[in-house]
A = this chain, B = another copy of it.
């Protein structure tokens, strides 16, 4: 069987459509992964404006037209081809499903938002070990005390992902990821998590905890789960997101998002 890293987006999406439910870090090397947030057309302007005002956590890669379940960048079926989905009603998480067809609505507009998994290969090449991949778990993600800029009915906290980085490689990690502004870019914070309102690294709000070893600093990147946190706080009638860490794998190449 092909290793996840060497699968094509088409094959990976077929496996997820068939029911496989795993975090996608390390899958489909070289292919861009994306966060999903789908909202009714009546809320789509607010969501797109929210993303425009918060480009670090919400870099929009693509937007579906209402009633269409694929996009230019995503050749699969947005309702089935991610490993898992989260359903929100009035801001409450009411379910997590592997197939969203039963709850998908014709008026939904789907936003594909850049994901930091895209620069993980470049980090690894630069010598930064990805602890969550090493441990075989989901990347840890945290709600911070930093606020995003609101737009219309949407507002909420900044969500970040965290990777431990040896002190000697922090500058490298910054430089490598700064070259990918369309997938969150450089870190938003390095070091003491309390400064950004994260009190316990071992209790992430999304994903799994990972070990931060002596000599390592926790490094935080803006995260595409931020729109889901806005949905939870702002309580629109209905929204569907990906299960954090369980991304949509697109037909776009990581290299397209690399700044020269």
Contact = CB atoms under 8 A, between A and B. Distances in A.
Contact of A259 (B45, B60, B181): B181
A49 interface: yes
A178 interface: yes
Contacts of A60: 52
Contacts of A214: none
Copies in the complex: 2
Chain A residues touching B, majority SS: helix
A170 interface: no
A121 interface: no
A229 interface: no
Interface residues of A, number: 12
Contacts of A259: 181, 259
Contacts of A122: none
Interface string A222-260: 000000000000000000000000000000000000011
Contacts of A181: 259
Contacts of A45: 44-45, 48
Contacts of A48: 45, 48-49, 52
Interface in A31-67: 44-45, 48-49, 52-53, 60, 63
10 contacts: A48-B48, A48-B49, A48-B52, A49-B63, A52-B52, A52-B60, A52-B63, A53-B63, A178-B260, A259-B259
